[in-house]
């Protein structure tokens, strides 16, 4: 019953104008911060780890701003899923690095977009899919009707979705070798056999090897991407990946991947997903997110 209530709420948010959903989302975010809910505690730990030079007051301000952005993302995304390509196009305020994107899409070696959990990552795929043949991994959420909604939205934009397993990865490699485009969200903690521990913003983090393996096995080029929230819509950014990402050495390449994610984070730190337990797999076994840590 709770799942269907949540789905009903999300579907109702889809009818709200973007400005209204963001205003309500900001109020939700302020409430999350005022109640000091779990996302606040996790975000505070991550911000303290990644910005040790900042004062406690500055960390708290960043934490509060992050909760506001989190609330806005939650309420605006149903509108993104439900709207037409024309509507989304009208909300793209500018595209920084458009020449880099066009050059990458014209390259017959294929394009791997590296899209961290920042701003509204759904916007990148939905905006780009009508412009290029795109194949992406998709793992349905536990709420089946929500999964069908998300899947229909992405496929309607023109994307091809493949499962998050060996067959799906093989499909990505084939698509890249055909000169097509795919996108990877690189900053979720993978299973132990699918990642290595390297620094992220000076902290040890188990990091996926999928993105660098795709580059090695397909010969494709990588491009960093993010859709940052701005009044009235989103500002898209495309940045070149580091040369070290193509090194072929796993540690060097994956370290470069994390450094590239940090470059994207620096564009708008308050819009990054700090409430995710990015550092929960520590080499010494510590639980840095324990309440008494």
Rounded Cα–Cα distance for residues 11 and 150 (Å) = 11
Structural domain includes residue 7: yes
Structural domain includes residue 100: yes
Structural domain includes residue 281: no
Structural domain includes residue 282: no
pLDDT of residue 292: 65
pLDDT < 50 positions in the chain: none
Structural domain includes residue 200: yes
Structural domain includes residue 74: yes
Domain that holds residue 61: 2-271
Structural domain includes residue 66: yes
Whether the model pTM is above 0.85 = yes
pLDDT of residue 140: 82
pLDDT of residue 1: 65
Rounded Cα–Cα distance for residues 29 and 66 (Å) = 8
Structural domain includes residue 189: yes
Domain count, the chain: 1
């Amino acid at each position: 019953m709770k799942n269907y209530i949540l789905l009903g709420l999300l579907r109702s948010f889809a009818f709200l104008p973007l400005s209204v959903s963001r205003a309500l989302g900001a109020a939700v975010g302020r409430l999350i911060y005022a109640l000091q809910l779990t996302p606040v505690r996790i975000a505070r730990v991550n911000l303290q780890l990644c910005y040790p030079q900042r004062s406690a007051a500055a960390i708290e301000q960043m934490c509060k701003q992050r909760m506001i952005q989190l609330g806005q993302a939650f309420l605006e995304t149903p509108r993104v899923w439900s709207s037409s390509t024309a509507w989304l196009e009208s909300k793209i305020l500018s595209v920084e690095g458009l020449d880099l994107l066009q050059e990458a899409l014209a390259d017959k070696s294929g394009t791997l977009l590296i899209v961290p959990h920042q701003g509204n990552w759904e916007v990148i795929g939905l905006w780009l899919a009508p412009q290029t043949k795109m194949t992406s991994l998709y793992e349905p959420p536990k709420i089946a009707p929500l999964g069908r909604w998300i899947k229909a939205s992405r496929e309607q934009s023109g994307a091809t979705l493949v499962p998050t397993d060996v067959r799906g990865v093989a499909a990505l490699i084939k698509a890249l070798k055909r000169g097509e485009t795919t996108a990877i969200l690189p900053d979720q903690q993978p299973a132990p056999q699918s990642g290595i521990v390297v620094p992220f913003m000076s902290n040890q983090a188990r990091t996926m090897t999928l993105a660098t393996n795709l580059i090695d096995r397909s010969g494709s080029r990588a491009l960093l991407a993010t859709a940052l929230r701005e009044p009235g819509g989103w500002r898209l950014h495309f940045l070149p990946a580091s040369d070290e990402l193509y090194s072929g050495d796993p540690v060097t390449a994956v370290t470069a991947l994390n450094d590239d994610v940090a470059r994207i984070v620096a564009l708008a730190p308050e819009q990054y997903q700090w409430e995710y337990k990015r550092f929960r797999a520590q080499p010494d076994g510590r639980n840095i997110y324990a309440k008494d840590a």
